[in-house]
Amino acid sequence: MAPSGKESENSETQRGVFATTHWSVVLAAGDSVSPPAAEALENLCRTYWQPLYVYVRRRGYGLEEAQDLTQSFFALFLQKKSFSLANPARGRFRTFLLKSLQHFLTDDWKRDHRLKRGGGQVEIPWDIHTADDHYASELAETMTPERAYEERWAMTLLEQVLCLLRADYAKAGKTQLFEALQDFLWGTDGPASYAQIADGLGMTEGAIRVAVHRLREHYRERLRAEVAHTVSNPNEVDDELRYLIQVISGAR
């Protein structure tokens, strides 16, 4: 049975969008990294530096040494094109990156000859105070470095999606609406009722309910797109989303 026009259109759209996702671009680059692939890889590294930093700290390294190790890892990772060794059949990008870091930390030569901050061709932007705040807040929890990495990965991804969503609403001139409704993204309770928000924004309560529904839909779309950036096949997105929810549920 031939697909309907809408189904065909959706399928073509999914393939077109997925073809430009970060991890897919990196994998397709092979040994010769094109500018789009290099940019995609840097974007992935920016997403993952905080979880990896938390992992290194959990391994017992001090603040400055953890900064040096994390930055040096990324510099060597990009310089040596370690991503070309990735096999999508072996797991997700988050798993590949963590294993690469583990090898880096246990390799005496690399550790003794690591690059100092700023010594690599690519330097990942740091907000080290935020990263160390995350590390400190998790010290009371009993968890392995691997678990700390997974939780920080999940939280970083959700925070990134929220920032993108906020930017979308700002671009549409709806910053005030977003700020009023964002607390309803994950549940029905917020600091104010729908009626109170409607009164404050000069809208009806029904319009607020519709706006919340649209906000949640937009968030799901953004989250799915960001998860797709980190897998090599669109069929893996649902599994990765389920795992993300599992990690977040365990962190609460």
Percent of residues, the chain, with pLDDT higher than 90? 35
d(CA 138, CA 151): 10
d(CA 252, CA 250): 6
- Model confidence, pTM: 0.72
- The size of the chain, in residues, is 252
d(CA 126, CA 138): 19
What is residue 87's DSSP assignment?
A: -
Q: Is residue 86 part of a domain?
A: yes
Q: Which of 5-9, 108-112, 122-126, 152-156 has the lowest mean pLDDT?
A: 5-9
d(CA 176, CA 126): 29
Q: Is residue 181 part of a domain?
A: yes
Q: What is the pLDDT of residues 97-126, one digit of tens each?
A: 898 899 888 874 445 555 444 444 445 555
- Under a CB-based contact definition with an 8 Å cutoff, are residues 79 and 125 in contact? no
Q: Is residue 158 part of a domain?
A: yes
Q: Which residue has the tokens 């392995």?
A: 144
Q: Is residue 5 part of a domain?
A: no
Q: Is residue 6 part of a domain?
A: no
Q: Is residue 1 part of a domain?
A: no
- Under a CB-based contact definition with an 8 Å cutoff, are residues 251 and 154 in contact? yes
- Under a CB-based contact definition with an 8 Å cutoff, are residues 148 and 73 in contact? no
Q: Is residue 100 part of a domain?
A: yes
pLDDT for residue 87: 62
d(CA 211, CA 197): 11
Q: How many domains does the chain have?
A: 1
Q: Is residue 119 part of a domain?
A: yes
Q: What is the pLDDT of residues 173-198, one digit of tens each?
A: 999 999 999 999 987 677 789 999 99
pLDDT for residue 117: 45
- Three-class SS state of 167: helix
Q: Which of 113-117, 174-178, 227-231, 235-239 has the lowest mean pLDDT?
A: 113-117
Q: What is the pLDDT of residues 36-88, one digit of tens each?
A: 767 777 777 777 889 999 999 999 888 888 888 988 888 877 776 666 666 65
Q: What domain range is 214 assigned to? A: 20-251
d(CA 48, CA 214): 29
Amino acid at 107: D
d(CA 75, CA 124): 9
